[in-house]
Structure 1
Amino acid sequence: MKLFPAIDIIEGCAVRLVKGDYAQKTVYSTNPVAVAKSFAEAGATYLHLVDLEGAKDGSTPNLKIIGEIIKESGLLVEVGGGIRSEKTIQKYLDSGVFRVILGTAAVNNPEFLKEMVLKYGERIAVGVDFKDGKVAVKGWTELSEESCFEFCEKLEKIGVKTIICTDISKDGLLAGTNLALYKEMSGKFNMDIVASGGVTTLEDVARLQKMGLYGAILGKALYTGNIDLKQAIDLTKGERL
C-alpha cells in the first residue's frame, strides 16, 4: 500500500482543518517546502497536496510554492483543490505534478471529466469527499444530491483509475478511519482506492493494508506525532509507483 503524507496549504502555510471547516484551522508550519523535505527524508515517495484556497474559488494562488515543493523535495506530488478547467490541469502538470485530483468539476461536469480522463488517463484522479452519504463540493462547503456509491459507479464507467475517498465526518479528529466503508468500496469497485480522513494510528494503516487498498493519506496524525511516518512506511514496505 502506498502512503501519501499530506500538506494542506492556505496562504503559503501548511495547515490542518477539522471536518473541512475553514474556521477550525491550525497552522503547523509557515514553510511547507521544509515539511515536504522532512517527509522525503523519512522515506516517503509521494505527497498529497491540497490548495484549500483554490478549493473554494477555483484559483491557483499557491502554484508557485507547489512548484518549489516538487523541485526541492523530489516527491511524486498529487494536487487537488479547485481544479475545474483544463487550463488549471495543464498548469499543474507543467509544474511537475504527477497527478491532479478533480472534485467539484467531476461532480458538476461529468462530460468534462470524461474528456480529461480520455486525454490525460491515469494522471486524472477524482476526490470522492462525502458527508451524510452525499458527495461534498467547493472545498466541502456544499453538499450535492449525489450519493457516494452512485457517484463511484459513474466514475468507474467513465474510466477513472484512482479515487481519493474521504469521510468528512472523520477528518481531522484523530478518532480512527472508516474501515467498514473502505472494505465495502474495495469489494464494489475496480478502481484504485486511496483512504483519507481519520487515519490515526499504525493499526489503522495495518488494517487498511490488509484490505488490499491502493493507498492511504496521512494528515493530522503526522503533525501531532500519533503516527511516525518512517514506521508507517516500513510497515507498508514503501512500495513505489
Structure 2
Amino acid sequence: MLIPALDLIDGRVVRLYQGDFNQKTEYPLDPLAQAQSYQAAGAEWLHLVDLDGAKNPDKRQQALLKRITQESGLRCQAGGGIRTQQDLDDLFAAGIERVVIGSTAVNNADLVRHWFAEYGTDAIVLALDVNIADDGRAMVATHGWQESSSLTLDDVLNRYLEVGCRHVLCTDISKDGTLTGTNVELYQRYKALYPNIQWQASGGVSNLQDLIDLKQVNCDSVILGKSLLTGQFELAEAIKCWQNA
C-alpha cells in the first residue's frame, strides 16, 4: 500500500533533507487537516515522525499525535526517539497502532526483542536506514543518520527473525528528500532474501513510475513524504497507479 508521511516539529509539518535539522523546510499546513485530506484521497495508514520526540522524549507531541489518530480516520504508525518502554506505552495510549523503532533496534537488540514479545509482531516497525557501501553492502546508520554502525542490514534483520519481525521500513539515506528516484534494486534484493517481511520503501520517490517500479519488484508498501507535499503527484492518482501496476 501507499503510506503518506508527516514529519512534525512543534505542531508544524516539516521535511528534513537527509535527516539534517539544519536543512529544514516548513510547509504551511495543518497536520490534522493534511492527514484528513490523505484519508479522503484513499489512504488507510499514516506514517508520523515526531522530530521533537526524536531529540527529547520529554517533548513528544503527544496531544497532537492523539488528535490525529482520533480525528483523521487513518490508522497510524509513529516513531521518533523511541528509547524506553514508556515511550511505546505513551504512543499506544495516543492511539498509535504501530511504533517505529530505529536506533534502539540497532543498539539494544535484547530490549527490542523483549518488546516484540510484549506487544506482538504487528505492533512494531523496525526503521533501518542504510548507506550503500562501495562494495554494495547496505550499512545501517543510527541517531538520525549522524552515526554509522558496523552492521549490515542483514546483520540487524537476522537478530529479529526468530521473534517474528514482520514490518521493516528501509530508507536509502542517499535518496531521502532528494526526489531523485528510489533504490529499486535494494528492495528487490531484500524482498527476495526476506519474503516474509512486509517491506516499506522510503526515500527518493519523485514520480508515478517510481511507484510502478517498486510494485513490480514486490515491494509491499511505499512511504510518501516530500513527493506529496511538493505536488509531484496527487495521492489519489498514486493509489490508482499502485493498484494497477
TM-score of the pair, normalised by structure 1: 0.93
- Whichever residue aligns with residue 195 of structure 1, its letter is A
Q: Which runs of 4+ in 1 moved over 4 A?
A: none
Deviation at 1:30, TM superposition (A): 4.8
Rounded Cα–Cα distance in structure 2 between residues aligned with 1:66 and 1:36: 11
Deviation at 1:57, TM superposition (A): 3.3
Question: 2:173: which partner in 1?
Answer: 168
Deviation at 1:31, TM superposition (A): 1.7
Q: Is the 8 A contact 1:56 1:138 kept in 2?
A: no
CA distance 1:63–1:117, shift in 2 (3 Å): same
Rounded Cα–Cα distance in structure 2 between residues aligned with 1:140 and 1:53: 16
Question: 1:156: which partner in 2?
Answer: 161
Rounded Cα–Cα distance in structure 2 between residues aligned with 1:56 and 1:130: 20
- Whichever residue aligns with residue 197 of structure 1, its letter is G
Q: Which runs of 5+ in 2 are unaligned?
A: 133-137
Rounded Cα–Cα distance in structure 1 between residues aligned with 2:8 and 2:124: 21
Deviation at 1:135, TM superposition (A): 1.4
Deviation at 1:8, TM superposition (A): 0.3
Question: 1:136: which partner in 2?
Answer: 141
Rounded Cα–Cα distance in structure 2 between residues aligned with 1:60 and 1:23: 19
Higher RCO structure (Cα 8 Å, ≥6 apart):
1
Q: Count matched residues.
A: 237
Question: 1:206: which partner in 2?
Answer: 212
TM-score of the pair, normalised by structure 2: 0.92
Which shifted more, 65-74 or 126-135?
A: 126-135
Rounded Cα–Cα distance in structure 2 between residues aligned with 1:138 and 1:75: 28
Rounded Cα–Cα distance in structure 2 between residues aligned with 1:143 and 1:37: 36
Q: 1:67 is paired with a residue of what secondary structure?
A: helix
Rounded Cα–Cα distance in structure 1 between residues aligned with 2:107 and 2:25: 30
- 1:179 aligned onto 2:188: no
Q: 2:87 is paired with a residue of what secondary structure?
A: helix
Please provide the CA RMSD for this pair. 1.5
C-alpha distance after superposition, 1:70-95 (max 9, x if no partner): 11211010001111111111111111
Which shifted more, 55-64 or 172-181?
A: 55-64
Deviation at 1:159, TM superposition (A): 2.0
C-alpha distance after superposition, 1:111-135 (max 9, x if no partner): 1111111111111110011224321
Identity %: 39
Question: 1:97: which partner in 2?
Answer: 96
Q: 1:87 is paired with a residue of what secondary structure?
A: helix
Question: 1:75: which partner in 2?
Answer: 74
Rounded Cα–Cα distance in structure 2 between residues aligned with 1:177 and 1:235: 16
Q: 1:169 is paired with a residue of what secondary structure?
A: coil
Q: Is the 8 A contact 1:70 1:77 kept in 2?
A: yes
Rounded Cα–Cα distance in structure 1 between residues aligned with 2:52 and 2:145: 12
Q: 1:114 is paired with a residue of what secondary structure?
A: helix
Rounded Cα–Cα distance in structure 1 between residues aligned with 2:75 and 2:213: 24
Q: Is the 8 A contact 1:128 1:166 kept in 2?
A: yes
Deviation at 1:60, TM superposition (A): 4.7
Which shifted more, 186-195 or 29-38?
A: 29-38
Question: 2:135: which partner in 1?
Answer: none
Question: 1:232: which partner in 2?
Answer: 238
